[in-house]
C-alpha cells in the first residue's frame, strides 16, 4: 500500500525541535525526508541530554524518526553544489535556522525559486518577517513569553509560568506542516511553489486566542466571571493568571484524591458542566442541590464555586483518582485523572493505539516515543528509528547521480 506522501522529497534543514517535529510528521506519512546535517556534529540535540554514552540522545531520536541523514557542509563550494542539485530535485525545503542564515549561506528565496520554481520553502522563525524583533533567535520559552502563554499561565500570586507542553516548538512545527500541505495542494493545481513562513510567537498566540477574547471582555466589563478572582477578588486591566480554572464557560478545577499527601499526581480534573448539574449532584450524593435555587444555575453557583469544589474534595478523600473517574464517568461528567509520565508510558490504551510506541535503535537500544496522534482509516503509521549521523550520505549522493569516485572526493574534501 502506498503512503499518502510517498513521492514527495523533502530537504530537512531543521534542528532542535520546532522544525524536526514538522518534518517527522511528514516522514511518518510517507515523504522522503532527507535530514541535512553538518559533518562531524549534526543536529545539536544528538548530544544534548544524553543518557547512553556515545548514542544519540532521546531528544534527537524522538523528533527524527523515519528520516534519512545526509551530512553536508553547505559553506564549502562542493557542499553548495550538492545542495543545489538537491533543491532542483526536491519538492519542499524546511528550515529553522536563525534569522538570515539561509541567505548568508547563499540560498535566498529568489535563488531557490530560480533553481526550482516548484519548490516550497518552509521556514520557522521566532518572530514573523518585519516584526520589530525579527532579528532575535528564539527557543521554546522565549516564544511562550512573547505569545501570551506565560502571562496567562500559573497562579495569580506567582510569576508568569511556562507550560511543559511545547507550545513554541512542536506546536509551531505542526502549524508549519499544515502550511506545507496547503502549499503542496496548491502546487498540484498550479505547478508553482511558494514560501511558507510560521513564527513561534504567532503559533503560541494562535493557541492563546481565548485569552485575547478575555482581554476584550475585561476591557468592556472590568471582570471575568469564570476566573477564580470573581466575585470575591480583584481584577486589574490585564487578563490575570487563572490557576487551574477551566478557560471556557464550564467551571473546573484540579481536585485532591486519596493519597495526595504522598503522591504528587493523586488528583483529578473535575468539570461542572452547566447542563450536567443534576447528574453531578446524584454522583456526589447531594440530591437536595438539584432544585435548590442557591445552586441550580451557573450564576447561583458562581460565588460559592470553591465551596462546591471543597465539598467534592471531601467526597474524593477515600477514592483514588482512578476509582473516582470510574464513578463519575457513569454520570457523564467530563473528568480525567492527572496522569504522570510513568503512568502514560505504561498505559495499555496508548500502546494499543500506537500513540506510545517502542522503537529499536542500533545504538540506543529500545526506547519509547510518541507515535502519530493523527489516526487514519487507510494508513497505519509505522515509527522507525532515527538515522545515525550521515547514515544515508552515500545513498543520497548516488541518488543524485554522483559516481563512487565523486562521492569519495566529496568525503576527502570534508564537504560531506
Binding region for ligand COA (CB under 6 A) out of 72-80, 249-257, 349-357, 363-371: 72-80
- Residue 329 lies near ligand COA (rule: CB under 6 A): no
CA distances from 266 to 32, 103, 316 (A): 44, 52, 10
Size of the site for ligand COA (CB under 6 A): 24
Give the Cα separation of 12 and 375 in Å (integer): 24
Give the Cα separation of 149 and 137 in Å (integer): 19
Give the Cα separation of 89 and 44 in Å (integer): 27
Q: Which of residues 231-250 bind ligand COA (CB under 6 A)?
A: none
CA distances from 163 to 141, 147, 169 (A): 8, 12, 12
How deeply is 50 buried, as exposed, middle or buried, from its count of CB atoms within 10 A (0-12, 13-18, 19+)? middle
CA distances from 373 to 356, 376, 378, 391 (A): 9, 10, 15, 28
- Residue 83 lies near ligand COA (rule: CB under 6 A): no
Could you say which of 30, 126, 147, 179 contacts ligand COA (CB under 6 A)?
Answer: 126
Binding region for ligand COA (CB under 6 A) out of 46-54, 132-140, 295-303, 351-359: 132-140
For 383, half-sphere exposure in the C-beta direction (CA atoms, 13 angstrom radius) is 26
* List of residues 6+ apart from 399 with CB closer than 8 A: none
CB of 125 to ligand COA, least distance (A): 5
CA distances from 138 to 103, 128, 169, 224, 369 (A): 18, 12, 10, 32, 25
CB of 71 to ligand COA, least distance (A): 8
Q: Which of 385, 415 has the CB closer to ligand COA?
A: 415
Could you say which of 40, 48, 104, 404 contacts ligand COA (CB under 6 A)?
Answer: 104
Q: Which of 93, 308 has the CB closer to ligand COA?
A: 93
Q: Which of 36, 55 has the CB closer to ligand COA?
A: 36
Residues in the chain: 416
Could you say which of 7, 75, 248, 294 contacts ligand COA (CB under 6 A)?
Answer: 75
- Residue 392 lies near ligand COA (rule: CB under 6 A): no
- Residue 336 lies near ligand COA (rule: CB under 6 A): no
Q: Which of residues 2-41 bind ligand COA (CB under 6 A)?
A: 16-19, 36-38
Binding region for ligand COA (CB under 6 A) out of 73-81, 215-223, 276-284, 287-295: 73-81
Site string for ligand COA, 261-280 (x = CB under 6 A): --------------------
- Residue 97 lies near ligand COA (rule: CB under 6 A): yes
Site string for ligand COA, 160-199 (x = CB under 6 A): ---------x------------------------------
Could you say which of 47, 50, 105, 259 contacts ligand COA (CB under 6 A)?
Answer: 105
Q: What is the DSSP string of 341-396?
A: HHHHHT-HHHHHTTSEEEEEETTTEEEEEE--S---SS--PPP-PPPPTTTTHHHH
Could you say which of 67, 68, 125, 211 contacts ligand COA (CB under 6 A)?
Answer: 125
Strand partners, 71: 37
Provide the 10 A C-beta neighbour count for residue 12: 30
Give the Cα separation of 350 and 357 in Å (integer): 8
Q: Which of 136, 290 has the CB closer to ligand COA?
A: 136
- Residue 413 lies near ligand COA (rule: CB under 6 A): no
Is 169 designated active site?
yes
- Residue 124 lies near ligand COA (rule: CB under 6 A): yes
CB of 175 to ligand COA, least distance (A): 12
The DSSP letter of residue 32 is: E
Q: Which of 169, 292, 378, 412 is catalytic?
A: 169
The DSSP letter of residue 1 is: -
Grid cell, residue 386, equals 532515527
- Residue 138 lies near ligand COA (rule: CB under 6 A): yes
- Residues with a catalytic annotation lie at 169
**Site residues (vs ligand COA, CB under 6 A):** 16-19, 36-38, 72-75, 96-98, 101, 104-105, 124-126, 137-139, 169
Amino acid at each position: 500500500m502506498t503512503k499518502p506522501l510517498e513521492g514527495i522529497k523533502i530537504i530537512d534543514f531543521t534542528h532542535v525541535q520546532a522544525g524536526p517535529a514538522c518534518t517527522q510528521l511528514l516522514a511518518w506519512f510517507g515523504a522522503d525526508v532527507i535530514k541535512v546535517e553538518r559533518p562531524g556534529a549534526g543536529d545539536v540535540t544528538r548530544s544534548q541530554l544524553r543518557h547512553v554514552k556515545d548514542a544519540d540522545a532521546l531528544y534527537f531520536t524522538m523528533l527524527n524518526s523515519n528520516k534519512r541523514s545526509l551530512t553536508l557542509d553547505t559553506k564549502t563550494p562542493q557542499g553548495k553544489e550538492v545542495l543545489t542539485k538537491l533543491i532542483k530535485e526536491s519538492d519542499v525545503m524546511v528550515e529553522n535556522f536563525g534569522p538570515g542564515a539561509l541567505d548568508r549561506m547563499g540560498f535566498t528565496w529568489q535563488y531557490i525559486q530560480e533553481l526550482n520554481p516548484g519548490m516550497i520553502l518552509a521556514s520557522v522563525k521566532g518572530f514573523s518577517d518585519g516584526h520589530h524583533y525579527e532579528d532575535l533567535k528564539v527557543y521554546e520559552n522565549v516564544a511562550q513569553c512573547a505569545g501570551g502563554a506565560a502571562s496567562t499561565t500559573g497562579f495569580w500570586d506567582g510569576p508568569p509560568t511556562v507550560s511543559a507542553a511545547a507550545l513554541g516548538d512542536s506546536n509551531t512545527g505542526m502549524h508549519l506542516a499544515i502550511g506545507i500541505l496547503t502549499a503542496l495542494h496548491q502546487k498540484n493545481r498550479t505547478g508553482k511553489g511558494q514560501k511558507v513562513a510560521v513564527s513561534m510567537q504567532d503559533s503560541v498566540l494562535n493557541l492563546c486566542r481565548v485569552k485575547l477574547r478575555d482581554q476584550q471582555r475585561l476591557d468592556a466589563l472590568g471582570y471575568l466571571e469564570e476566573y477564580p478572582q470573581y466575585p470575591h477578588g480583584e481584577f486589574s486591566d490585564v487578563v490575570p493568571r487563572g490557576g487551574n480554572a477551566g478557560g471556557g464557560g464550564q467551571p473546573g478545577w484540579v481536585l485532591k484524591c486519596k493519597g495526595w499527601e504522598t503522591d504528587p499526581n493523586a488528583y483529578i480534573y473535575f468539570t461542572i458542566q452547566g447542563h450536567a448539574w443534576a447528574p453531578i449532584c446524584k454522583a456526589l450524593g447531594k440530591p437536595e442541590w438539584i432544585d435548590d435555587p442557591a445552586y441550580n444555575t451557573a450564576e447561583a453557583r458562581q460565588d460559592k464555586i470553591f465551596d462546591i469544589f471543597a465539598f467534592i474534595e471531601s467526597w474524593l478523600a477515600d477514592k483514588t483518582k482512578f476509582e473516582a473517574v470510574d464513578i463519575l464517568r457513569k454520570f457523564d461528567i467530563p473528568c480525567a485523572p492527572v496522569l504522570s509520565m510513568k503512568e502514560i508510558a505504561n498505559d495499555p490504551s496508548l500502546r494499543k493505539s500506537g500513540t506510545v510506541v517502542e522503537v529499536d535503535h542500533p545504538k540506543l537500544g529500545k526506547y519509547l516515543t510518541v507515535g502519530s496522534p493523527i489516526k487514519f482509516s487507510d494508513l497505519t503509521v509505522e515509527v522507525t528509528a532515527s538515522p545515525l549521523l550521515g547514515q544515508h550520505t552515500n545513498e543520497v549522493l548516488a541518488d543524485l547521480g554522483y559516481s563512487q569516485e565523486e562521492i569519495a572526493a566529496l568525503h576527502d574534501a570534508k564537504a560531506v
